[in-house]
Structure 1
Amino acid sequence: MFSLYGLLDKAIKKGRLTVVDAKGVTREFGGQEPGPEAAIRFTSSSAALKILLNPELNAAEAYMDGHLVVDRGSIHDLIQVFYANKRHFDLSPSQIFWRGLSRKVRRFQQNNVLSRSRANVKAHYDIGEDLYRLFLDRDMQYSCAYFPDGPETIEDAQTLKKRHIAAKLCLKDGQRVLDIGCGWGGMALYLAHVADVEVVGVTLSERQLAVARRRAEILGVSDRVRFELIDYREVTEKFDRVVSVGMLEHVGAPHLGAYFLNVRDRLGPEGLALIHSISTKSPPGVTGPFLRKYIFPGGYSPALSETVAAIEPTGLWLLDCEIWRCHYGYTLAQWRERFLANRDKAVEIMDERFCRMWELYLSIAECVFLQGSSNVFQLQIARERDTAPISRNYIEAEECRIAERETEFLDRVVASAQQALDE
C-alpha cells in the first residue's frame, strides 16, 4: 500500500530525514548523497496520511498546528531537505493530482477583480506594521533587494535596489511619475528626492497609505508626492514615468493584458515604465497551495513568456529585460534571520501558530529562489524605441550620480518611515 513513508523512501536521496511516528517508531530516509538533515516527529496518528493526500498544504498545516514537530535542526532545515529532493516529490501521485487540478482552476484562483484585489491586499498587508518592522529594513521595503556584490546588508541592498530602479527610469526634472503599488511610500519618496519630479503612489492598503502620507508630511514634500487609496485600474491621469515594484504578482494571469494596456494608457508620448516582479524560469504554472491559502491569496508570479505575450499586443517597446537570479533569496535569508531574532516579539503581536506559518513562508520563499526555479525580472518598456539609451552604459553612470545625491537626503527619507510608524 502506498504510504507517506514509501514516498519519503523514494523521494529523499540528498541529505537525511529522520521521522518518529505517533507510536514512537523511528524511520530513516535518504543518506545516499550529502545534503541537509532534519528530524521530525508526528504527534497525531492521522498526520502522515493527511500529508500523503496533499503534501505541500497539509505538511504546512501540520507544522502550524503542532502535529509535526521538528526535533533536530529547524523548520528551515526540513524545507531544505524537501527542496534538495523536490523533483522526486513532484512525481508523487498526490502532487501530480493537485498540480493538475490547480492548473484547471487557476483562472478562477487568479481572477483578481477589483473587489477581490482589495480583500487580498487586506489579508496580507493590513495585518499590522509592528510585525513587518521586526524583519524589514528601516525604509520598510517589502520587495527584492539588490546584491551586486553579495555580502551587502539588507539596509544597503534595499538602497541599491532603489538607486538601480531610479537610474533605469531616466528621470528628468519636472516629470510626473506613477508608482503602482507604493507600499509604505519609500520608493516614491526616494524618486522625489533623486529628481525634482511629482510622484503619485497608489495602493489598496489603508494602513500603508496612512504611513506613506505621514512620511510625505514629515519630509515636507506633500505638495509633489501624493498617495491615493485606489486600484491601478482606476487611475486616469497621464504620466511621464510609471514604476511598479512587487505589484505585478497581485494582478493575476487573466488580467496581465489589461494591466499592460493600462500602463500604456497612463504613459505620455515619451513615457517609460519599469516593472519589477517575481517570475520563474519555468513555463506558466500555479501558486503553491500553502502560499495561496495563507500568505498571498490571489497571488501569482507570472512567467516571463506570458508577461511578454501580454505586452506585445499593446504596441509598447520592451527596451530592456534584466533577470535577478539569487537576489531575492539573499533578501529572504536576511528577513528570516531578523524575524527569528525577534520571534518572541512576533508571538506577542500575533500568536504562536501565526509565527510558525510566517517561518514557513520565509523559509519556503528563500529556498524557492536559492534552490528552486524562481527569479525576479525588471522590464523597461516605453512607447518609443529611443526613450532610453540603446546600451546599458548609462545605468552605472546614473547610479553614481544618484549615489552622490543620496548623502543629502537618504537618512531623512529612511528615518521618516520609523517616525511615521512610531506616531
Structure 2
Amino acid sequence: MKLLSHLLTRFVRDGRLTVIDHRGARHAFGSGEGGPDVTIRFTDAAVEREIFLNPELRAAEAYMDGRLVFEAGSGVFDLLRLFSVNRAGLGSHPVQQVLRRSWKALRGVHQANPLGRAAKNASSHYDHPASFYRLWLDARMAYSCAYFEHPEQSLEDAQLAKFRHVAAKLKLVPGMRVAEIGSGWGGLAIYLAQVCGARVTAINVSPEQLAASRERAEAAGAADRIIFVEQDYRELEGRFDRVVSVGMMEHVGVAHFDDYFTAVGRLLEPGGFALVHAIGRMSPPGSTAPFIRKYVFPGGYVPALSEVFASTERTRLWVADCEILRLHYYWTIKAWRERFEAARAEVVAQMGERFARMWEFYLAAVELGFLDGSNMVFQLLVAHTRDAVPVRRDYVLDEERRLRAAEEGAGA
C-alpha cells in the first residue's frame, strides 16, 4: 500500500476513504468533512499497484472484476463522488501529470475515426440489444441530453421538450427536407415528420438502432416521411433545407471536426441552416478519460468550445447562435442512473454482472462530470450566410408554443 497511500494522501482531502488492503489492514485518508465516507476492500496486492499507476481505469476494472469490494454501505456513486470533489488533488500528483500528458499526446490515435473504423467504434456502444436500453431510457428512446423546463420535470416530458426545442430552432414548415446525422432510435426523426411535416433522411452506422427506428416509425405512422439509411456522415449526398445532428459530434474525433462541419455545410441548400447539439467542456482542450475511451465510447472526445469554433472558422460557417445547457445533462443522467439501478436485476439477466458493473461506473462517472466537472452541452446554429437564421431569438419561443399545440393533434 505504500505507493497508493502516497497518492491517496495527496488526493483525498474532502470526505474520507478507508481502504482495507488484502491483508485486512485499514488505511484512512481525508478529513471526513465536505464529501462522502467510503470504505473499500482489495482482494489482492496487485490491484493496489494497478490503481496507483492508472486510478481512473484500474479502479473501474477492479470493481468490474470483483477485486475492489465496497463495504459499510458504500457504492460506486459514493466512490466517484469522492473522486469528483477531490479531482484537483489527483491531477496534481506527478505520476498522474505524466499520465495525462501522454493521453493528450496520443489523442490523435485514440480519436481516429476514418471510414469503417468509425462504424466499428459506434457499434461497440450502440449495438447492444434495444431491450437493454428500454430498461432505463424514456419511452421515445432518446439517448442524449434532455431539455428540462424545471428540475422536477419527468424524463419523458423533458425529452419531448428537447425535441420541441430543437424543432423550434430549426423553424420548419411542412415539406421541408431534413438530414439528420446520427439518428439514434429515431425519436427526433419521428417527431420532425409527425409534428412538423418534414421529410427526413436519417443516417446512422448502427444496424441495431436502425432496425428499431424503422419499427418505431412504422408504429407511429411516420414511415412514409422518413428514410433511415446505414451511412457515415461523410458519405451522405444531396441538399437539404435543414441539417440536424444531436449527440453525434462527440464521436467524430478532433482530427475530423473539419470533415464534419464541411459535410454539414455541403448538405445545406442555399439559405438553409443546421443545428448541432453535442457535449462540450468549459475547460481547455484535453483527452478522453481512459475508462470511457476503452469501455464506453472508443474514438469519442468531448471538445472544448475553442476547438469547435476553430473548426467553424476554418470551414467558413457562420455560427448564428450558441446556447449552453449547463445542468440539463446532469438531470438527464441522474434520471438514467436511477432507472438503471431500479432495473439492475433485469440488466444482469440480459447482459451479465460484469457488464452491469461497467455501466454503473459509466453512468455515475458521467453524471458527476456534469455536476462537479467541466462538462456541459452546447447547441449551435450554423449557416453559410449571416441572415439564414432569424436575427432575434424570439422566434424560438413562438415556435415552441406553436409546436406544443401541434403535438396533441399529431398524437406525439
Same fold (TM over 0.5): yes
Q: CA deviation at 1:223?
A: 2.4
Q: CA deviation at 1:148?
A: 2.8
What runs of 5+ residues in structure 1 fail to find an aligned partner?
412-423
Instruction: Give the alignment of 1:232-381 within 5 angstroms.
Output: 232-381=233-382
- How far apart are the structure 1 equivalents of 2:376 and 2:359? 21
Match of 2:30 in 1: 30
Q: CA deviation at 1:134?
A: 1.0
State whether residues 180 and 243 of structure 2, in contact with CA within 8 Å, keep that contact through their aligned partners in structure 1.
Answer: yes
- How far apart are the structure 1 equivalents of 2:411 and 2:388? 28
Instruction: Give the alignment of 1:124-135 within 5 angstroms.
Output: 124-135=125-136
- How far apart are the structure 2 equivalents of 1:313 and 1:289? 30
Q: Deviations over 1:271-310 (max 9, x none)?
A: 1100000000011110000000000010111111111110
Q: Deviations over 1:355-386 (max 9, x none)?
A: 11000000000000001000000001112212
Match of 2:49 in 1: 49
Instruction: Give the alignment of 1:22-421 within 5 angstroms.
Output: 22-31=22-31, 33-72=33-72, 73-411=74-412
Match of 1:5 in 2: 5
Query: 1:56 is aligned with what amino acid?
Result: E
Q: Once the two structures are aligned, what percentage of the paired residues are identical? A: 49
State whether residues 245 and 276 of structure 1, in contact with CA within 8 Å, keep that contact through their aligned partners in structure 2.
Answer: yes
Q: CA deviation at 1:121?
A: 1.4
- How far apart are the structure 2 equivalents of 1:386 and 1:327? 29
Q: CA deviation at 1:260?
A: 0.4
- Alpha-carbon RMSD across the aligned residues, in angstroms, is 1.2
- How far apart are the structure 1 equivalents of 2:153 and 2:40? 34
**Which range moves more in the overlay, 184-193 or 389-398?**
389-398
SS at match of 2:35: strand
The alignment of Structure 1 onto Structure 2 pairs a total of residues equal to: 411
Q: Deviations over 1:306-329 (max 9, x none)?
A: 111101122221000000111111
State whether residues 60 and 290 of structure 1, in contact with CA within 8 Å, keep that contact through their aligned partners in structure 2.
Answer: yes
Query: 2:298 is aligned with what amino acid?
Result: P
**Which range moves more in the overlay, 71-80 or 338-347?**
71-80
TM-score of the superposition, structure 2-length normalised?
A: 0.97
Q: CA deviation at 1:180?
A: 0.3
State whether residues 9 and 29 of structure 2, in contact with CA within 8 Å, keep that contact through their aligned partners in structure 1.
Answer: yes
State whether residues 282 and 305 of structure 2, in contact with CA within 8 Å, keep that contact through their aligned partners in structure 1.
Answer: yes
- How far apart are the structure 2 equivalents of 1:11 and 1:222? 54
- How far apart are the structure 1 equivalents of 2:81 and 2:95? 21
- How far apart are the structure 2 equivalents of 1:46 and 1:219? 54
Q: CA deviation at 1:213?
A: 1.4
State whether residues 55 and 94 of structure 1, in contact with CA within 8 Å, keep that contact through their aligned partners in structure 2.
Answer: no
- How far apart are the structure 2 equivalents of 1:170 and 1:317? 17
**Which range moves more in the overlay, 371-380 or 191-200?**
191-200
- How far apart are the structure 1 equivalents of 2:20 and 2:75? 16
Q: Deviations over 1:215-254 (max 9, x none)?
A: 2222333222110011111111100000000000110100
Q: CA deviation at 1:173?
A: 2.0
Q: Deviations over 1:113-152 (max 9, x none)?
A: 0111111111110011111111100100000111131111
**Which range moves more in the overlay, 189-198 or 218-227?**
218-227
- How far apart are the structure 1 equivalents of 2:2 and 2:259? 46
SS at match of 2:223: coil
Query: 1:340 is aligned with what amino acid?
Result: E
- How far apart are the structure 1 equivalents of 2:325 and 2:220? 32
- How far apart are the structure 1 equivalents of 2:60 and 2:371? 20
Q: Deviations over 1:30-76 (max 9, x none)?
A: 12632222111111111111100111111111111111111132110
SS at match of 1:35: coil
- How far apart are the structure 2 equivalents of 1:350 and 1:33? 38
Q: CA deviation at 1:410?
A: 4.3
Q: CA deviation at 1:96?
A: 1.2
Query: 2:343 is aligned with what amino acid?
Result: N
Query: 2:135 is aligned with what amino acid?
Result: L
Q: 1:350 to 1:32 in 2, by over 3 A?
A: closer
SS at match of 2:224: coil
State whether residues 194 and 222 of structure 2, in contact with CA within 8 Å, keep that contact through their aligned partners in structure 1.
Answer: no
Q: CA deviation at 1:262?
A: 0.7
- How far apart are the structure 1 equivalents of 2:104 and 2:314? 24
Query: 1:280 is aligned with what amino acid?
Result: R
Query: 2:22 is aligned with what amino acid?
Result: A
Query: 1:398 is aligned with what amino acid?
Result: E
- How far apart are the structure 2 equivalents of 1:101 and 1:407? 53
Match of 1:420 in 2: none
State whether residues 285 and 307 of structure 2, in contact with CA within 8 Å, keep that contact through their aligned partners in structure 1.
Answer: yes
- How far apart are the structure 1 equivalents of 2:164 and 2:33? 42
TM-score of the superposition, structure 1-length normalised?
A: 0.95
**Which range moves more in the overlay, 189-198 or 346-355?**
189-198
Match of 1:416 in 2: none
Q: Deviations over 1:320-369 (max 9, x none)?
A: 00001111111111100000100000001011111110000000000000
State whether residues 125 and 296 of structure 2, in contact with CA within 8 Å, keep that contact through their aligned partners in structure 1.
Answer: yes
Q: CA deviation at 1:408?
A: 2.1
Q: Deviations over 1:391-421 (max 9, x none)?
A: 211111111110111112344xxxxxxxxxx
